[in-house]
Structure 1
């Protein structure tokens, strides 16, 4: 183990990791839409890489569940139906409740500091009433919430679910709460952690997820 403060080499991402990030972002932001087929030749040319790293990156996304392989046809971006949407949020509920419990057992002060910074990003996006920025800031807040638990396994599980959440919201942006309401939902979560109120925190997380499910279901029925 190195001495505290000693400089060490900064880890660099491999080409496969960089390509995985690019594909994941394209799916998350809708550049690659649900049901789109991924053509190796076209993607390799667009990314300026050989097919080897691209294939490996695509297989990573298959393992994450963001791409699906269809025999004799190729790879496709997943399509989320109503059942999938509910399942995504229920899985997030389980992960974020577990993260909340760990936060309460560990360093609440650090969690509050990190979440307060993340909340400021959401406040700024809400002030601009920019739905894309709000989605980014919302996702960043929940990433910090899980990260603050100190569990790398919860972080890994949450990462793919947050991409799938964004896919849901891209298709159904009208379901997003009003900016002030969204900020207040997240501010209450930070306050509950700061006050040491575990039951209140877990209830707020559950309400946040179940309300999201209901909004998405309602929008699908009226679309």
Structure 2
């Protein structure tokens, strides 16, 4: 191999780095739903010119995390209950597709890969850290989709997982006992490792349906309406 055979090392552009920071801020609620983003303010905070900020914001507009209102500006999306149901509908389809591939020859590797996320969730639950459980929930599902070895499923899942975290708002979790949340993920991991395939599919579907039901009750409680 000569030096001319070597490919350049991929580097994140400034716009990509800013987009990553903004995604995290949106996911964690530092940029609240409905918040307006200004190029000038963000450029000053990131200590960059307005160009990379503009590019980063447009990336998030295309991903659906920001939306542009003509003559008003760019805002963080606000998720309605219909949006939440659609998020989980799309996630169920993507993660079922990933599970199909996993069960076809990737079970052992996926079971091992999911282990650290389950351990993180359990440690957070044991110390009563609901936010920590939710923090570990996201990489669990990221690993699940990544284990399918499908770049397209991974890309499709990324925004949906951020939107999922946004659904929780400031409450961080819909579980009264976060150990129950951990148990659901551990059971799915075990089913992926050695259980019947139909059990894994059922556990995944139940997990998505239960999440929507919990969020519906949570939203109704916050708004003071009947579920």
Band of TM-score, shorter chain:
over 0.9
Instruction: Pick closer, same or farther for the CA change 1:95–1:110 going to 2, 3 Å.
Output: same
What stretches of structure 1 move > 6 A for 4+ residues in a row? none
Counterpart position of 1:35? 34
The 3-state SS of whatever aligns with 1:68 is: strand
What is the CA distance between 1:79 and its match in structure 2? 0.4
What's the TM-score, normalizing by structure 2?
0.91
What is the CA distance between 1:123 and its match in structure 2? 1.2
Q: Matches of residues 31-70 of structure 1 in structure 2 within 5 Å?
A: 31-70=30-69
Instruction: Pick closer, same or farther for the CA change 1:194–1:177 going to 2, 3 Å.
Output: farther
2:176 and 2:89 mapped to 1: Cα distance? 19
Counterpart position of 1:117? 116
What's the TM-score, normalizing by structure 1?
0.93
1:116 and 1:36 mapped to 2: Cα distance? 36
Q: Does 1:206 align with 2:205?
A: yes
Counterpart position of 2:143? 144
What is the CA distance between 1:146 and its match in structure 2? 0.5
Counterpart position of 1:130? 129
> Are the equivalent residues in 2 in contact too, given 1:122–1:138 (CA < 8 A)?
yes
2:162 and 2:191 mapped to 1: Cα distance? 26
Instruction: Pick closer, same or farther for the CA change 1:170–1:176 going to 2, 3 Å.
Output: farther
Q: Deviations over 1:119-166 (max 9, x none)?
A: 111111111211221111011101000001111111111100010011
Q: Which runs of 5+ in 1 are unaligned?
A: 2-6
Aligned residue pairs total 219
1:24 and 1:166 mapped to 2: Cα distance? 11
What is the CA distance between 1:15 and its match in structure 2? 0.8
1:182 and 1:196 mapped to 2: Cα distance? 20
Counterpart position of 1:85? 84
> Are the equivalent residues in 2 in contact too, given 1:122–1:134 (CA < 8 A)?
yes
> Are the equivalent residues in 1 in contact too, given 2:130–2:173 (CA < 8 A)?
no
Q: Which runs of 5+ in 2 are unaligned?
A: 223-227
